[in-house]
Structures are given as structure tokens and as C-alpha cells.
Amino acid sequence: MTISTTPLPVEVEAPVAKPAAKRSRLWAWLIFIAGALYFLVPLGATFWWSLRAEAGVLGFEAYRRLFDDANFWPSFTESVVNAVAAILLSLIIIVPTAYWVTLKLPRLRPVVEFITLLPFVIPAVVLVFGLIRLYGRPPLLLTATYDSSRVLLICAYAALSFPYMFRSVDNGLRAMDVRTLTEAALSLGAGWPTVMRRVIFPNLRVALLSGALLTFAIVIGELTIALFMAQQTFGPYMANLTRSKVYEPSAMAIVAFALTWVAMGTIALVTRPGRRR
């Protein structure tokens, strides 16, 4: 890094309202608007289509039919419960792992990263057949009942979330210079649980939120594994609707999008830091 030889500028306060900052703000707006257009137009088109269920009339008939359907809410709530369980399970496993790999076992990193990326290359259909083969027969029979299959499903979802959870947590750990913080905390006499609870987790809040949101979205819409596990979750419900109807799927896409967004907003609100940093 070259060190400029010009003398320090006279003004001492931080350069906030310089034209350069304004220009970067303009760029930020442009980028944001371009992004918003790209993301919102297809949603808008879907919404517009969903209003056409009644011939010649723009109305909410498709939504009415959707909410009247007996399976809509039960399948959605079942998926939400699965999602929360999977998130907790994934957090408990990934955070210590990422932490350990970063601090103590850096040479194990490629192995761990490879494993966390396995869900990408094992197609869902292959994964579920593998799970059924392993746990669908004695001696490890876990699929005998609907509920035990559900537990298996949640474990599979936690595994599916590994790529996103690990990457998020890893990015978060990098950003917080975890080594220094840990050494500082330890040298101040903190025990490991305290380090985790008061140093690591609070600083990882944003990263954990990202990972949790991604996992939530995955679980809500997941189709293949739920289908083969004979679970009545939201994914199979949506797929079934899409297969047979013309207008309801669009209404459902909008509703699912909105519901998931609300749920995520709730998660984000709940995990908001208590005091300003």
C-alpha cells in the first residue's frame, strides 16, 4: 500500500457529505432500482395472472379458492414447524464446527467444506432414496410411522442447509476476526461457554440470521424429500396444485412468497440486537 506524502488535510471531522459520497449514493440507488425491477416484475406478472380466475373479471377468486382448500393451512404450518426445528438443529451443529475449523483445525477445512457442499451434488431424489435405503428397513428402521419419518425429514433438512449455514457463519467469523476476539476473551479469564455465548454468538447475529433465513426458505418449499417420505408438507401441496390448476398456482406462489417473507421478517425482528452497537 503506497503511503501518500501529502500532508494531512486540515479538517478533522469525518468526510460525510462530500460529493463522492453523494455519487456513490446515486449508484446505490440505481443498482437497487435495477434489482427491484428485475425481482418485482415477474412477481407482478404472476400476481396479475392470478387475478384472472373469473372470465373477464379481475378479482380474487383464485385466492378465495386457495384459502378454502382444506389442506392449505395445515400443510403450511407443518412446514413452518419443520423449518424451525431444522434451523435449530443446523445452528447447533454448524456454529461450533465452523468455529473449530477456523481456529483449531484449519487443515480440516477443505474436508468440512466439501462435506457441506455435498447437498448440492447429491440430487434430492438420490438423497431420499439413500435415506430410505438406510433407514427404511431393519435394523435402523426410522420410517415406520409418519412421525418418525418426520424426524428423519427434519434431520435431512438440517443437512441440506449446511452449505448455506456454513458459508454464512464462515463469512461472519472472518468478518469478526474471531481469533483475536477469542484470545482476548480467554486471556480475560472467560470459559468456553462464556466465549461462545457472549463473544461469538452476538457477533455472528447477522450471519446466523442469513443462514436461518435461507434454511427457512429451503424447508418451506422443499418438495422431493417430503414427497418420498410421504409427508404432508407445503412443497407437495404446492406441486399438486400446480399440476392440476391454472390460476390457483399463481395465487399460491404470491401467497407463499408473502407468507414466507412475513415469517422471515418476524425472525429478523426477533433476532434484532437488543442494544445499538
- Asked if the peptide bond before residue 139 counts as cis, ω within 30 degrees of 0, the response is yes
Report the nearest approach of another protein to the CB of residue 234 (Å): 12
- Is residue 184 near another protein by the rule CB under 8 A? no
Distances (CA, A) of 143 to 24, 125, 128, 170, 230: 56, 17, 12, 34, 10
Closest approach of another protein to the CB of residue 222, in Å: 9
Report angle CA 182, 110, 224 to the nearest 5 degrees: 105
Q: How many residues of this chain bind another protein (CB under 8 A)?
A: 131
Q: Is 145 left (phi over 0), alpha (psi -120 to 50) or beta?
A: beta
For 24-165, where are the E strands, in sequence order? Answer: none
Contacts to another protein from residues 153-172, by CB under 8 A: 155-156, 158-159, 162-164, 167-168, 170-172
Closest to another protein by CB, 82 vs 149, is 149
Q: Residue 186 carries which side chain, given as an amino acid letter? A: L
What number of other Cβ atoms are within 10 A of residue 236's Cβ? Answer: 21
Binding mask 70-109 for another protein (x = CB under 8 A): ----------------------xxx-xx-xxx--xx--xx
What SS3 class is residue 171? helix
| Least distance CB 73 / another protein (angstroms) | 19
Q: Which of 79, 91, 128, 97 is nearest to 260 (CA)?
A: 79
Interaction with another protein in 185-214: which residues (CB under 8 A)? 204, 206-207, 209-210, 213-214
Q: Given candidates 10, 19, 27, 274, which one binds another protein under the rule CB under 8 A?
A: 27
Q: Which of residues 238-267 bind another protein (CB under 8 A)?
A: 238-240, 242-247, 249-250, 252-253, 256-257, 260-261, 264-265
Q: Kindly state whether residue 19 participates in binding another protein, applying the rule CB under 8 A.
A: no
Distance CA 147, CA 230 (A): 11
Residue from 59, 67, 77, 137 in contact with another protein (CB under 8 A): 137
Q: Is residue 10 at the binding interface for another protein, with CB under 8 A as the rule?
A: no
